[in-house]
């Protein structure tokens, strides 16, 4: 009897798969929704019943019609959850899973739409003193109007706050708030406090509108790192002193309790406030009393009254919604993104109309652990890099959304014009490798005496075959595909690379503790501290010695000369001198190859659907607003330029 | 035996299943002899090139040319400007180009283009137009730029010393090349996948891999099942209890969960094609054991078995000569089903990323996995996943059909 039921199940599974994928051959919305569920059907094929597939398809359909239908999905909460489509800006790809807190001190926050203190901080709710613009590398005023060094040695900094700034409860925002926020970051050991307290001794209020930042000095009386002090201006959220004291009160000023506080009763200064959130959707509402409507800041309120982010199951679900016009701004990697407008004729566009379609600012990099036998040999590292087919990675894994290494030769610089101008391209020209150079890589290894002695096709070093495990998190498909291409290239030069895709947590455990052979990770993108910060992430021995290393140099590479240069850079303001330093650093980097970039990549993908809103920043539109999804750094200025489509 | 075979091949179901399966098997054997390319070679520099023949542009420019008196202008106009494009051009011209609506005749494509070229400007003030729409017009403009001109296309080469462009040839609008004359061309019957690999070649290789996995899994599962079933059924007693205890335990745990756990713990390093087959085989023997055991129990008290026992034959001999032949038809059928479910299990495992690794082998599940990861179903690249689904369906279908056919022959109750 079992054989029959098994037969039926097998037949059913095949039919279900065929049917769902057959439907995918057509065009339009319905097949998209159906095929998205193909995965579900397959996974559960052995035990699945038709109901699962139908349910899931129904949910997708509902999400794909319009926002009222999407609101119906969540049932009871329909009142707060339903916002007029023409007052709401919908996002995708920024938030996965239900949010857990609104706390900038938290170490396990899952609320990127609100809490994102980084190189270009997200200032929808909490605000920073300045906004970073990745296009020109400048700081733009937000809560503060100007900053200056107190003296030529850069031992202290004075920041003037905007007198118009006030909190969502109406009370004015003063220098005391800034000082107290810093004190709390240090006292409660937030990751920001831990990082920056290496460079900043104290932040004090001179008067209501003036903040003094005192740098940490080394033995010689030089500031530890003036670049990092500038970085704080764009990175630290300013919080209200009175509110922080309330939170301290209810947590008895306990360090751990402070980090775990949900802060859902927050007081902030930004243009939006929390409005609604559950496991389906997050909505922010505009603060009609936002201080930024003062003439000294934006002079008006941002255009969308609501900011909403539906929580999608995966990239494909987000893409379906975007194609249906239910998402306005998508931060998602999309294969063959140009097909959306060239073939499907959708009102969708990206920052640039042709490859690489976005403003690339970072470069996912292949880090090789130089403490592992085999990888400690520079020839082996360089051979792997030389053999890798970068053009193939960029064209297929990255779907052409990156400039090639012929267009932007590899270095420690990101592809933005500003950073590219900071080193001498010709000086390192002979050290460059174009990739897919199998003969060159083979010759290099043969010359170094690293050959295949036992005839199994794999070269040996000191009798051990060169066999390495290359890892990146499971589900990061473009990274996974890149590593597959690295592996298949290495195979051609007699180096065995096995790909390994653990879950994200395991991956981070592995790389922060050095328990890996080859891994892929991104150095920081555009920032006021870069390219210095990125050089540190590639070569600083300071990071190599960390027991748990979240900072960089996962290769554990050590070079005294590089360390020396990198120590000098933050204190140097002479541009010619800086160029000399960076050129030398790149010579070292390209000679020793502790790691090599596999592609360039935008910090945020930026795909906009103009069926409801228009006026998004585009390249060469003269606005100088960076394509940071209308939320990050100076990119938030885009929200003030949006208009409804006529 | 001969008679049985004849009976089997008289069953239409079995024959259809057998033909499909044999065709698939033969393809996997013959195709690699004809096409010797490495199935994992990344030929295409990009994602999902559509099916068709790709000819070298350089070769076609340099090759023999034929002049054909064909109206090429109409053909290229139609391919460059759709009816929708014309409507959009009209809209732009009336809104921003200052052209009166009466002056535009959509039937007259050439006239429309002339108007367009005279009035369109990228930098014109276009209030109310979205960025995507503006970019659309820029693209459209680029596309039809010069389409009306009948001038030749000039091929020029760069002088290596001076860097100047030297004209080496011109191409008239009525010149054609015969694709047979083009030396470098490549046909992708089923296009390429997300890595730029030839889908057809990969598919054939993947089918071979899948059949191998299925066969390994089927043999292992059937052998274990048969062995345990025979022993437990014939010996009975404590041995039976013990074996049934283990079997029941494995039956209760869903085998797919077990499969996932084992595959995960083995790690990608060691997970070759053969090992995946072995793992699948090791987790799917339980039902064969149970069925074989129950059949053996009913057989072991038959007269001929008792006679053999009285004659002092060894257990081994009794099992092999007096019991096994009666089970043979069932075992063959179970084996076929095991192959089929082994192939499906591999596909499922690879879909989860727990199959063999991508750079080492092509499997049906891996092809599906990558096609989904790169959103092939969303961007219309049917060739990357649909043929795979059809192949999986055909394998499962043919094996099941053979099984049903055999069932009808061997099971008297089902015999016509």
% pLDDT > 70, chain A: 87
Residue B267 has a pLDDT of 64
Nearest CA in chain A to B374: A335
Specify whether the CB–CB gap between B233 and B292 falls below 8 A.
yes
pLDDT tens digits for B39-62? 888 888 889 999 999 999 888 888
- Chain A partners within 8 Å of B195 (Cβ): 392, 396-397, 481, 484-485
- Chain B partners within 8 Å of A3 (Cβ): 287, 291, 333-334, 337, 403
Name which of A25, A315, A343 is nearest B382 (Cβ-Cβ): A25
Least confident window among A87-91, A309-313, B149-153 = B149-153
Is the confidence at residue A41, as pLDDT, over 50?
A: no
Specify the CATH class of B2-44+193-414 in words.
mainly alpha
Residue A20 has a pLDDT of 55
Look-up of token digits 């369109």: B120
Specify whether the CB–CB gap between B317 and B362 falls below 8 A.
no
Name every residue whose Cβ is closer than 8 Å to that of residue B110 and which is 6 or more positions away in sequence. B77, B148
Helix or strand holding residue B238 (H, E) = helix B237-252
- Chain B partners within 8 Å of A347 (Cβ): 130, 132-133
Residue A10 has a pLDDT of 55
Residue B208 has a pLDDT of 92
Q: Is A135 exposed, middle or buried (0-12, 13-18, 19+ CB in 10 A)?
A: buried
Nearest CA in chain A to B361: A488
Calpha distance B416→B408 (Å, rounded): 8
pTM of the model: 0.83
Residue A59 has a pLDDT of 40
Nearest CA in chain A to B271: A498
Q: Do A14 and B393 touch (CB under 8 A)?
A: yes
CB proximity under 8 Å: A 441-470 to B: 469
Handedness of CA A288, A289, A293, A297 (dihedral sign): negative
Is the confidence at residue A320, as pLDDT, over 60?
A: yes
Domain boundary assignment for chain B: 2-44+193-414, 59-68+150-184, 72-144
Instruction: Tell me what the mean pLDDT of segment B154-171 comes to.
Output: 84
pLDDT band at B258 (very low <50, low <70, confident <90, very high): confident
Higher pLDDT, A579 or A551: A579
Residue A534 has a pLDDT of 92
Partner B contacted by A45 (CB < 8 A): yes
Instruction: Tell me what the mean pLDDT of segment A62-71 comes to.
Output: 40
Residue A54 has a pLDDT of 38
pLDDT band at B161 (very low <50, low <70, confident <90, very high): confident
Is the confidence at residue A77, as pLDDT, over 70?
A: no
Is the confidence at residue A536, as pLDDT, over 70?
A: yes
Calpha distance B146→B141 (Å, rounded): 9
Instruction: Tell me what the mean pLDDT of segment A526-535 comes to.
Output: 89
Q: Is A395 exposed, middle or buried (0-12, 13-18, 19+ CB in 10 A)?
A: buried
Pairing between strand A360-362 and A601-602? antiparallel
Nearest CA in chain A to B369: A39
- Residue A260: C-alpha distances to residues A139, A560, B285 (Å): 32, 41, 50
Is the confidence at residue A21, as pLDDT, over 60?
A: no
CATH of A360-601 given 3.10.105.10, 3.90.1150.10, 1.10.3720.10, 3.40.50.1470 = 3.10.105.10
Q: Do B48 and A2 touch (CB under 8 A)?
A: no
CA distance A370 to chain B (A): 21
Name which of A396, A474, A610 is nearest B47 (Cβ-Cβ): A396
Q: Do B344 and A10 touch (CB under 8 A)?
A: yes
Calpha distance A198→A438 (Å, rounded): 45
Partner B contacted by A347 (CB < 8 A): yes
pLDDT band at A14 (very low <50, low <70, confident <90, very high): low
What proportions of chain B, in percent to the nearest 5, are helix, strand and coil?
Answer: 65, 5, 30
Instruction: Tell me what the mean pLDDT of segment A365-391 comes to.
Output: 93
Pairing between strand A464-465 and A643-644? unpaired
Is the confidence at residue A26, as pLDDT, over 50?
A: no
Partner B contacted by A267 (CB < 8 A): no
Three-state secondary-structure class, residue A637: helix
Name which of B46, B135, B333 is nearest A396 (Cβ-Cβ): B46
Higher pLDDT, A249 or A97: A249
Partner B contacted by A5 (CB < 8 A): no
Calpha distance B32→A624 (Å, rounded): 56
Nearest to A270 by CA among A431, A39, A403, A116: A116
Name every residue whose Cβ is closer than 8 Å to that of residue A626 and which is 6 or more positions away in sequence. A120, A133, A134, A135, A359, A617, A632, A633, A634, A635
pLDDT band at A238 (very low <50, low <70, confident <90, very high): very high
Is the confidence at residue A48, as pLDDT, over 60?
A: no
Residue A155 token pair: 């031992």
Partner B contacted by A623 (CB < 8 A): no
pLDDT tens digits for B349-405? 887 777 787 877 888 988 998 998 898 998 889 999 999 999 999 998 999 999 888
Residue B325 has a pLDDT of 85
Q: Do A474 and B353 touch (CB under 8 A)?
A: yes
Name which of A31, A392, A491 is nearest B359 (Cβ-Cβ): A491
Is the confidence at residue A316, as pLDDT, over 50?
A: yes
Is the confidence at residue A13, as pLDDT, over 80?
A: no
Least confident window among A187-201, A211-225, B196-210, B263-277 = B263-277
- In a mutational test of the A interface, the residue from B259, B363, B377, B382 whose CB has the highest number of chain A CBs within 10 Å is B377
- Chain A partners within 8 Å of B44 (Cβ): 396
Is the confidence at residue A57, as pLDDT, over 80?
A: no
Calpha distance A211→B1 (Å, rounded): 98
Nearest to A308 by CA among A124, A538, A49: A124
pLDDT band at B272 (very low <50, low <70, confident <90, very high): confident
* Cis before A276? omega within 30: no
pLDDT tens digits for B98-124? 888 888 888 888 888 888 888 888 888
Higher pLDDT, A81 or A305: A305
CA distance B318 to chain A (A): 27
Nearest CA in chain B to A488: B359
Residue B316 has a pLDDT of 87
Calpha distance A8→A624 (Å, rounded): 62
Higher pLDDT, A625 or B113: A625
Least confident window among A106-110, A581-585, B384-388 = A106-110
pLDDT tens digits for B306-352? 898 888 888 888 888 888 888 888 888 889 989 988 988 888 888 77
Least confident window among A65-69, A167-171, A186-190 = A65-69
Domain boundary assignment for chain A: 2-65, 360-601
Specify whether the CB–CB gap between A491 and A483 falls below 8 A.
no
- Chain A partners within 8 Å of B267 (Cβ): 500
pLDDT tens digits for B17-40? 999 999 999 999 999 999 888 888
Handedness of CA B139, B145, B148, B154 (dihedral sign): negative
Least confident window among A50-54, A616-620, B285-289 = A50-54
Instruction: Tell me what the mean pLDDT of segment A566-583 comes to.
Output: 91
Nearest CA in chain B to A612: B130
Nearest to B351 by CA among A474, A31, A334: A474
Specify whether the CB–CB gap between A164 and A173 falls below 8 A.
no
* Cis before B327? omega within 30: no
Specify whether the CB–CB gap between A520 and A366 falls below 8 A.
yes
Q: Do A353 and B135 touch (CB under 8 A)?
A: yes
Is the confidence at residue A44, as pLDDT, over 50?
A: no
ipTM over 0.90: no
- In a mutational test of the A interface, the residue from B41, B44, B130, B143 whose CB has the highest number of chain A CBs within 10 Å is B130
The 10 Å CB-count burial string (b at 16+, else e) for A608-636 is bbbbbbbbbbbeeeeeebbbbbbbbbbbb
- Residue B163: C-alpha distances to residues B61, B166, B172 (Å): 22, 9, 26
Count Cβ atoms below 10 Å from residue A464 Cβ, excluding itself: 10
CB proximity under 8 Å: A 301-320 to B: 315-316, 319-320
Nearest to B251 by CA among B215, B293, B213, B211: B293
| Entry field: residues in chain A | 646
Name which of B130, B269, B290 is nearest A614 (Cβ-Cβ): B130
The count of CB pairs under 8 A between chains A and B is 186
% pLDDT > 90, chain A: 60
Higher pLDDT, B416 or A391: A391
Phi-psi region of A615 (alpha: psi -120 to 50; beta: other; left: phi over 0): left
pLDDT band at B69 (very low <50, low <70, confident <90, very high): confident
């Amino acid at each position: 009897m079992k054989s029959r039921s098994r037969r039926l199940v097998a037949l059913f599974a095949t039919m279900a798969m065929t049917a769902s994928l057959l439907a995918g051959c057509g065009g339009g919305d319905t097949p998209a929704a159906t095929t998205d569920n193909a995965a579900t059907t397959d996974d559960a094929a052995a035990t699945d019943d038709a109901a699962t597939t139908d349910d899931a398809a129904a949910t997708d359909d509902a999400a794909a019609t319009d926002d009222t239908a999407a609101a119906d999905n969540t049932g009871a909460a329909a009142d707060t959850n339903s916002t007029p489509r023409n007052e709401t800006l919908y996002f995708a790809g920024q938030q996965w899973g239900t949010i857990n807190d609104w706390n900038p001190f938290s170490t396990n926050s899952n609320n990127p739409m609100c809490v994102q203190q980084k190189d270009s901080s997200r200032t929808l709710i909490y605000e920073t003193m300045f906004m970073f613009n990745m296009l020109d590398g400048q700081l733009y005023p937000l809560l503060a109007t100007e900053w200056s060094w107190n003296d030529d040695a850069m031992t202290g900094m004075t920041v003037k706050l905007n007198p118009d700034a006030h909190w969502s409860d109406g009370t004015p925002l003063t220098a005391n708030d800034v000082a107290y926020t810093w004190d709390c970051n240090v006292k409660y050991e937030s990751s920001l406090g831990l990082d920056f307290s290496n460079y900043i001794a104290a932040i004090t209020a001179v008067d209501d509108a003036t903040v003094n930042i005192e740098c940490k000095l080394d033995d010689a009386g030089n500031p530890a790192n003036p670049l990092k002090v500038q970085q704080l201006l764009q990175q630290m959220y300013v919080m209200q002193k009175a509110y922080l004291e309330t939170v301290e009160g209810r947590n008895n000023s306990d360090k751990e309790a402070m980090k775990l506080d949900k802060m859902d009763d927050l007081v902030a200064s930004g243009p939006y406030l929390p409005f609604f959130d559950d496991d389906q959707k997050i909505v922010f509402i505009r603060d009609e009393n936002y201080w930024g409507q003062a003439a000294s800041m934006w002079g008006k309120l941002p255009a969308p009254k609501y900011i909403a982010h539906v929580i999608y199951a995966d990239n494909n679900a987000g893409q379906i919604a975007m194609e249906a016009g239910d998402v306005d701004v998508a931060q998602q990697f999309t294969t063959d993104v140009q097909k959306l407008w060239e073939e499907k004729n959708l009102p969708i566009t990206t920052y640039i109309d042709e490859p690489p379609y976005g403003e690339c600012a970072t470069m996912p990099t292949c880090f090789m652990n130089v403490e592992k036998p085999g990888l400690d040999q520079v020839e082996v590292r360089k051979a792997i890099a030389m053999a890798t087919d970068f053009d193939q990675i960029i064209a297929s894994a990255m779907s052409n959304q990156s400039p090639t290494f012929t267009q932007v030769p590899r270095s420690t610089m990101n592809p933005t014009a500003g950073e590219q101008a900071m080193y001498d391209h010709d000086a390192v020209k002979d050290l460059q490798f174009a990739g897919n150079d199998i003969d060159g890589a083979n010759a290099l290894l043969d010359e170094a005496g690293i050959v295949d002695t036992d005839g199994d096709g794999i070269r040996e070093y000191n009798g051990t075959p060169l066999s390495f495990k290359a890892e990146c998190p499971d589900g990061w498909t473009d990274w996974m595909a890149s590593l597959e291409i690295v592996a298949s290239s290495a195979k051609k030069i007699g180096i065995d690379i096995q790909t390994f895709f653990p879950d994200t947590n395991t991956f981070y455990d592995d790389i922060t503790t050095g328990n890996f052979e080859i891994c892929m990770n991104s150095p920081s993108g555009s920032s006021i501290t870069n390219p210095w910060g990125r050089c540190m992430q590639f070569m600083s021995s300071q990071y190599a010695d960390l027991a748990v290393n979240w900072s960089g140099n996962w290769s554990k590479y050590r070079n005294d000369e590089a360390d020396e240069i990198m120590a000098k850079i933050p204190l140097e303001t002479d541009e010619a001198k800086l160029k000399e330093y960076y050129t030398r650093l790149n010579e070292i980097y390209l000679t020793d190859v502790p790691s090599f970039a596999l592609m360039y990549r935008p910090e945020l993908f930026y795909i906009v659907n103009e069926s409801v809103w228009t006026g998004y920043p585009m390249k060469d539109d003269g606005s100088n607003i960076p394509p940071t999804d209308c939320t990050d750094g100076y990119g938030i200025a885009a929200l003030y330029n949006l208009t409804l489509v006529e | 035996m001969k008679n049985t075979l004849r009976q089997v091949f008289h069953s239409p179901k079995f024959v259809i299943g057998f033909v499909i399966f044999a065709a698939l098997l033969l393809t996997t054997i013959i195709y690699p002899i004809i096409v010797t390319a490495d199935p994992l070679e990344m030929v295409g520099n990009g994602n999902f090139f559509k099916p068709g023949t790709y000819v070298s542009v350089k070769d076609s420019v340099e090759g023999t040319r034929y002049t054909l008196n064909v109206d090429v202008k109409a053909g290229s106009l139609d391919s460059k400007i759709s009816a929708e494009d014309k409507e959009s051009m009209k809209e732009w011209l009336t809104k921003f180009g200052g052209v009166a609506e009466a002056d535009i005749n959509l039937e007259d494509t050439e006239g429309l283009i002339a108007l367009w070229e005279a009035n369109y400007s990228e930098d014109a003030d276009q209030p109310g137009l979205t960025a995507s729409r503006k970019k659309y017009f820029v693209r459209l403009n680029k596309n039809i730029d010069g389409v009306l001109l009948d001038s030749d296309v000039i091929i020029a080469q760069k002088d290596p010393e001076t860097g100047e462009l030297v004209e080496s040839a011109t191409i008239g609008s009525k010149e054609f090349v015969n694709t047979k004359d083009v030396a470098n061309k490549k046909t992708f019957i089923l296009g390429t996948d997300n890595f730029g690999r030839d889908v057809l070649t990969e598919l054939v290789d993947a089918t071979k891999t899948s059949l191998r996995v299925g066969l390994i899994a089927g043999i292992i599962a059937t052998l274990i099942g048969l062995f345990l079933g025979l022993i437990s059924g014939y010996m009975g007693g404590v041995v039976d209890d013990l074996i049934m205890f283990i079997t029941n335990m494995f039956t209760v745990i869903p085998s797919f969960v077990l499969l996932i756990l084992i595959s995960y713990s083995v790690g990608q390093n060691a997970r070759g094609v053969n090992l995946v087959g072995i793992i699948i085989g090791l987790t799917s023997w339980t039902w064969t054991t149970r069925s074989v055991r129950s059949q053996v129990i009913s057989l072991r008290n038959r007269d001929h078995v008792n006679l053999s026992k009285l004659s002092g034959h060894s257990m081994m001999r009794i099992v092999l000569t007096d019991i096994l032949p009666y089970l043979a038809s069932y075992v063959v059928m179970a084996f076929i089903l095991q192959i089929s479910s082994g192939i499906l299990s591999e596909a499922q495992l690879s879909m989860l990323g727990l199959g063999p690794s991508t750079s080492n082998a092509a499997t049906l599940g891996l092809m599906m996995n990558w096609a989904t990861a790169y959103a092939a179903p969303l961007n219309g690249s049917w060739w990357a996943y649909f043929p795979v689904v059809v192949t999986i369906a055909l394998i499962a279908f043919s094996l099941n059909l053979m099984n049903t056919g055999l069932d009808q022959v061997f099971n008297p109750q089902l015999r016509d």
